[in-house]
Structure 1
């Protein structure tokens, strides 16, 4: 429950950014940004999220999208958390909530450390946006089946990462 409010604030910020247009005047770089502990939405504020309406992943003209080193490190951590979760044979609502929290924390770290810009960054947003929705769903549910379904959706999306990014 302690993660519900920060996750909700992050989700509302991302959703509100979806209608912003991406212009040279309002598109800053990650290096210029201050990623304070409680300012998780700062990464989202500097990007056009119109592309996130379509969260289906596509290759970049037949090639994989490029991840920067910090994003790759954090993506590998998220993959590791997912593998450990799958190996654990989770059965309780608490297990699924812990997984959702761990994934959200991994995404928060990825967002804080990301230095990506442009089309590669937009493709990354298309990858993680559905995961964020599922972590939020897990955080607010008291239903085991809903948590299982959302966790399964996260696992599927995490497994797609290496098909589209390098």
Structure 2
């Protein structure tokens, strides 16, 4: 009986803590300054297009840049472009790098939103890269490669 009571108390405490933490984040994000609100509206467009920061590149944290460079290296070292099975392993390696970018990201605000706009197409392409159709694998590979190259156009 004590274990059940203790378990219920623990679950309620964790739920309350999570709820408070989430509510606090919502309160903080619900009261941006007018300037921040305009930036958020501009950068939260549904098309997820990348834009520069008033003509300048966004400042990315070093770990993010290293993660993107690691993905580029992984792509550049891939030599089995005619082996459909090899794309599965490539996808696994790229997904590890992709997850690391998210784990080590310390970016905030509009720069962070733009990073997500950059990463969303990669996430989608990683779903089609390990296809059973060699042509689809190769097309996804080419699109990821091209997309990774535009990172330095938008981030420094």
TM-score by length of 2: 0.68
Q: Does the CA contact (< 8 Å) of 1:52 and 1:129 recur in 2?
A: no
Q: Which residue of 2 aligns with 1:63?
A: 56
Q: Does the CA contact (< 8 Å) of 1:51 and 1:126 recur in 2?
A: no
Q: Which residue of 2 aligns with 1:150?
A: 140
User: What does 1:94-133 correspond to in 2, within 5 Å?
Assistant: 94-133=85-124
* Residue-pair matches, total: 120
Q: Unpaired runs of 5+ in structure 1?
A: 1-22, 28-47
If you compute each CA radius of gyration, which structure gives the higher value, 1 or 2? Answer: 2
Change (3 A) 1:52 1:126: farther
Matched, 1:83 2:76: yes
Q: Which residue of 2 aligns with 1:15?
A: none
**C-alpha RMSD over aligned residues:** 2.2
SS in 2 for 1:96: helix
Q: Unpaired runs of 5+ in structure 2?
A: 1-24, 30-40
Alpha-carbon shift at residue 66 of structure 1 (Å): 0.8
TM-score by length of 1: 0.64
Larger helix percent = 2
> Once structures 1 and 2 are overlaid, which stretch shifts more, 143-152 or 89-98?
89-98
